[in-house]
Structure 1
Amino acid sequence: MAAAAVDDRLSRVFAALADPTRRDMVARLCSGDATVSQLGAAYDVSLQAVSKHLKVLEEAGLVSRSRDAQRRPVHLEAEVFDLMTKWIERYRSEAEERYRRLDDVLAAMDGPAEGEGAVS
Structure 2
Amino acid sequence: MTGNQMLETWKSVCDTGELEDGESLTVAPGTIPGVDEPVALYRVDGEFFATSDTCTHEKWSLGEEGELEGHEVVCTLHNARFDVRDGRPLCFPAVLGLRRYPTRVAEGQVYVGPEEAGSDD
TM-score range for the pair, normalised by the shorter chain length: under 0.3
Bigger Cα Rg? 1
From the two aligned structures, give the one with the greater helix fraction. 1
TM-score where L is the length of structure 2: 0.26
Structure in which a larger fraction of residues adopt strand: 2
* TM-score normalized by the length of structure 1: 0.27
